[in-house]
Structures are given as C-alpha cells and as structure tokens.
Amino acid sequence: MDGTVEAVSVSPGHTMGKPNRDAIRLLAGLGVEGDAHAGETVKHRSRVARDPSQPNLRQVHLIHAELHDELRAAGFAVAPGQMGENVTTSGVDLLGLPTGSRLRLGAEATVEVTGLRNPCAQLDGIQPGLMAATLGRDADGNLVRKAGIMAVVLTGGEVRPGDPIAVELPTAPHRPLAPV
C-alpha cells in the first residue's frame, strides 16, 4: 500500500487554496512550518471559536491525487493544494486507512492519521457543486467523505514531491476513520 508524494502545499493565511512548494517542513507536534493550521491546539477558525484549547488533530491535511482525477472526470477543474491540502498523495488508499495509521513521508517525517476531513461549503467557492462532489454513499447508503484525511506530526522532516510514502497500520482491531 505504499505510494508517492505528488505535491506539497502551504499557506500562512486561512485560505482554502495553498500554493504548491518545492518542499515543506513538518514539525513534530505542530504541523507544517509556516502554515496557518500549524500548532498544538486547534487553528481552524470555527473550532477555535468553540474551544481554543482543543488539541490540534488537523495539523496536516492529505488528499489522494486519485480524488483530483475523479473530480476532473466529473467536470471540475482542481489542482494539488487547491482544496486546502498540504500533501497530495498517489498510490495510497487514504480513505481506507484505519485511525492511528502512520505514514512515513520521505526520509524523515512521520505522521499519524487522526481522521477524515469533513468537506465544507468553502469548496463551492472554488467551483459550485464541488462540496457535493466530495461526498458519496457506500453500498449500504452510508455517507462517504472523500475530501482527504487529517494527521498529526510524530517526527518532523522535509517532504518533497516524488518522495516515497510508507504505510504502517496500527495493531488490530482497527478503528475506521471518522471526521475530526
């Protein structure tokens, strides 16, 4: 289940889109250096308004490039970083990972998956209908959130496009991802 980093992105402001970079630096316990969402406690504005002391389980946002392909096939013009992700991946079934999975990004950095990103209406600001396109239903009619996963940084380091991604699953029993 190993994969590849396709793109890395960071934004110092609370913007939906994040410009692509040649490299980003992950900081243990904080997130992406220079990103508005980095920190030990929540940085997402709606969560800060509710309780600014909550731990930041959303330090790094990862989206699979396969979602971009799916969205382009449906007529949406999306590119890496545009939906707010810090790391765009390929070859890893991000949505199928259990909570607590660890991803080694490149030679140094390791993140631990905390849960699903809950798509928000800001996606419709990129293109009308994009939020709905990131939601689906499984065979049992359950809601499927496809807008990526969130993680915390366990081990810092530099991450670049082309870096390998190694997946380490947690000890069973596995807990499915839930929104964080």
98-107 pLDDT tens trace: 999 999 999 9
Whole-structure pTM value: 0.96
Q: What CA–CA distance (Å, rounded) separates 83 from 112?
A: 21
Instruction: Look at strands 87-90 and 60-64 and give their pairing.
Output: parallel
62-84 pLDDT tens trace: 999 999 999 999 999 999 999 99
Judge whether 158 and 65 are in contact, CB under 8 Å.
no
Domains located in the chain, CATH noted? 3-168 (2.40.33.20)
**Closest C-alpha to 103, from 87, 116, 118, 84:** 87
Main-chain phi, psi angles of 65, to 5 degrees = -60, -25
| 114 has pLDDT over 90 | yes
